[in-house]
Chain A
Amino acid sequence: MTKVLVVDDSNSIRDMVSFTLKSAGYNTVEAKDGQDGLTKAQGGGFDLVISDVNMPIMDGIELCQELRKLPSFKFTPILMLTTESSGDMKQRGKSAGATGWLVKPFNPEKLLATIKRVVR
């Protein structure tokens, strides 16, 4: 089953993303900030990472950079959850190695349709 790592410091957003994914048959693991996400990533076997950008301790950009250093995450799709669709954020994300972005506010149907670009 497709396993997704969901990282967001907002409990409700994290719950909603996780719920949406689970409803569609995905398996999810949740983390509350970048550091927590990195720790949980060590578990391996992830097909996708969805992460917020603004988080305490370690933000999404740094998480992405750190994940890309891990062999098991070299090609894993990493999507940034962001409210900014400005070019600046896209660039930062890409430079960090992100695969793409998902724009907030979060729309469940849109999320599910969009992640099809990177997971089955």
Chain B
Amino acid sequence: MSIDLSQFIPSFLEESFEGLELMESSLLDLNQDSDSETINSVFRAAHSIKGGAGTFGFNDVTEFTHHVETLLDEMRDGRRTIEPDDVEILLDSVDCMRLMIEAVRDDVTCEDEKIAKTSILLQKTLGSHDDDASTDEQPQNTAKNNEATTSNSCWQITFIPQHHLVQTGNDPLLLFNALADLGQLSVVAKVDGLPALTDMDAEELYLTWQLELKSGCSEDDIKEVFEWVEDECELIIEQQMQELDDSPVIESEEVANPSPIDINPSLPEKSLEVELAASKPSEKTASKAKPDVGSIRVGVDKVDSLINLVGELVITQSMLSELGNDFDMSKTERLVSGLEQLLQNTKELQESVMRIRMLPISFAFNRFPRLVHDLSKKTGKEMELIIKGEQTELDKTVMEQIGDPLVHLVRNAADHGIESAEVRIAAGKPAKGTITLDAYHQGGNIVIEICDDGAGINRDIILAKATEKGLVDAKAVLTDSQVYDLLFEAGFSTAAEITDISGRGVGMDVVKRNIQSLGGRIQVESVQGKGSTFKVNLPLTLAILDGQLVKVGTETYIIPLIAIVESLQAKSDLINRVSGDMVLYRLREDNVPVLPIYQLFDLTAECKEVDNALLVVVEADGQKVGLMVDDLLAQQQVVIKSLADNYQQVDGISGATILGDGSVAMILDIPGMIALAMKIGKENTASIIQESVGENA
């Protein structure tokens, strides 16, 4: 029977990643005074990973982790003091293990130089301690005296157990069972040693045995069966050659299988191999090869809450059903109250289900202690990280996508925000800079703040840089927040920043775009000399939107609330017509282009004139636009449904929703609409929009 354990690999991988996280966070705090449980837990994590990897044959992981485990073992035993340098090596080792396990998960080969380098460092650190350990570690591959004989021998085995043998939990009869698996066994019990009945102790063993085993096995195979009791017995094994008719007699000196295993690959050889591998251009990047359907771990409390709510729903349903069975108009009031109950149940159920996809933001925050630790080392600036609100929950998918932008913002704070110790002291600040990560719920959103007590944003430098890059007109007069917004312009990032992040070309513009694609926005507040705060505002889930319902002709549309700046009735004197059909509305200092939805979507509308029209001023990508509508309806939360599933993407529309009356309404995609307007509009109209953007920026 062959048992397939490959189904446990995903669980092992998940467990290993968790173990690595634990190792990392414990190592970051590890020093001489740490209690033994800390170092023990790190050891255990490594030990588990090694064990699992060994079971599945992930040998590179096993080998590497073995060294890590050995080092940790020495530390936890007290054989080695915990030195900061060693902790750094261990931290690097965790990175390597992570790379290797990721490679296993993605089914690609792992050829990272870091692994080779760290492996060498580890072994150097371990020095002579290492030799003993590795000899023991090659499981079941030790060069045993394994002569696979092809013909049966007859083995005479005398088994004389000590009297207390059964108290170890061993049972001779069962040992013989195992022995019987090797061949043909006959057993004779010897009662010579039996004392008188009155002298017998019921828990002691007085028997001895003589066994005869006909088998093609080796002596070691037999010894193995008795390995657990070898110290508690006398075991005599004699081999008698049995002459079979045709087969030749096997000499016991003959080795049928030469010992093939080289236990200790010599160190220099290995590192050479690895270096060669590392210098080959690695074709397989560690990009995710397997699309992952994904899974979520849900707290039992959330599931229980869900079960309760469904229970209540069932009660309401049966109540309504019963009402329906024997209905007359006198029961209308009960019907109404029953329906209200239904509404309540449904709302609570919806909230509860949404909560299932919600996870605490700590999952996203947990990579930052290590990041700040590394940044501190790299920049040579002292800094510490404070994390608040890590239990604040948000949607799993949003969290996965917000990770990279947050990393960039934290790096930014470390690189550009926090000053060097000298500068800080001179400014009367503590030498150590502080970066604070905070998350909290506000309205229907989650707000994530990245705050530093550093130098703040120097408005003049930003303005100068932007002017230099042609992002603003040299003569433009801008408010502070408009200047800070320049940070997010494409092309603002310096080359230095881009290479800093392993060549991935991430800039603040990408950060802003990522956040916007999640339906969120980012704001900056700063005081020069004191520090800066970046505030990221995100919807709690991707599937639900806070929307403003508007009417255009007979059609109802939804405008995402997050995009709306304000709604107003257009005053004639603030309307300016520019060449062609372009209409601009003067909103304080801005000239906002007016987009008549009915024109854009080819509809019949009630209101076709801009005078006194209802305008919903929205903003996207720094650009303001006034959408002309016939009527403002309610504001409500809507569930976003895809148009693309059964139809296709439609320009200007981000999705659809089902309203309370069962009808379908389209959700407007503001950037898409602006793009559409530009496409449809006449050429000079398009260029005028460009100009007004230039003024607004």
Contacts and interface: CB of A to CB of B under 8 A. Distances in A.
Interface of A: 9-13, 15-16, 19-20, 23-24, 54-56, 74-78, 83-86, 94, 97-101, 103-110, 112-114, 116-120
B445 interface: no
Question: Does more than half of chain B's interface fall in helix, strand or loop, or is it mixed?
Answer: helix
Nearest to A57: B37
Interface string B149-172: 000000000000000001111110
B48 A13 contact: yes
A100 B8 contact: no
A76 B543 CA distance: 56
B603 interface: no
Contacts, number: 120
Contacts of A104: 51, 54-55, 139
Contacts of A16: 5, 8, 55
Contacts of A108: 3, 5
Contact of B174 (A97, A109, A116): A116
8 contacts: A12-B11, A54-B47, A77-B170, A78-B169, A83-B50, A100-B227, A107-B55, A116-B178
Contacts of A77: 169-171
A108 B2 CA distance: 8
Given A94-B231, A104-B55, A10 B5 contact: no
Contacts of A10: 15, 48, 51-52
B440 interface: no
Nearest to A110: B140
A118 B2 contact: no
Contacts of A24: 1
A74 B54 CA distance: 33
Given A11-B15, A19-B8, A117-B177, A106 B55 contact: yes
Contact of B3 (A13, A109, A118): A109
Contacts of B169: 75-78, 97-100, 118
A3 B404 CA distance: 49
B137 interface: yes
Given A13-B48, A56-B41, A120-B177, A105 B139 contact: yes
Contacts of A11: 11, 15
Nearest to B228: A100
Residue among B51, B52, B53, B54 facing the most chain A CB atoms (10 A cut-off): B51
Nearest to B172: A117
A10 B52 CA distance: 9
A84 B227 CA distance: 15
A74 B167 contact: yes
Residue in A24, A98, A104, A114 with the greatest tally of chain B CB atoms within 10 Å: A104
A94 B175 CA distance: 18
B22 to A, nearest CB: 11
Nearest to A73: B169
B11 A15 contact: yes
B44 interface: yes
Q: Which 10 A-B pairs have the closest CB atoms?
A: A105-B54, A100-B228, A99-B169, A12-B12, A77-B169, A10-B48, A108-B3, A105-B55, A117-B178, A12-B11
Contact of A106 (B40, B51, B203, B228): B51
Contact of A99 (B15, B52, B136, B170): B170
A74 to B, nearest CB: 7
Nearest to A113: B181
A113 B178 contact: yes
Contact of B167 (A75, A118, A119): A75
A31 to B, nearest CB: 15
Contacts of A83: 47, 50-51, 54, 137, 139
A120 to B, nearest CB: 7
A36 to B, nearest CB: 15
A74 B62 CA distance: 36
A9 B227 CA distance: 27
Nearest to B40: A56
A75 B1 contact: no
Contacts of A116: 174, 177-178, 181
Given A20-B3, A76-B169, A120-B177, 18 more contacts: A12-B8, A12-B12, A13-B55, A15-B8, A19-B3, A19-B5, A54-B47, A94-B231, A98-B169, A100-B227, A101-B228, A105-B55, A106-B51, A106-B55, A107-B55, A107-B140, A116-B177, A117-B175
A112 B175 CA distance: 14
A78 B228 CA distance: 11
A20 to B, nearest CB: 5
B40 to A, nearest CB: 8
A85 B140 CA distance: 10
B13 to A, nearest CB: 9
A99 B228 contact: yes
A106 B292 CA distance: 28
Contacts of B231: 94
Contacts of A99: 168-170, 228
B542 to A, nearest CB: 30
A116 B37 CA distance: 36
Contact of B51 (A13, A75, A120): A13
Contacts of B562: none
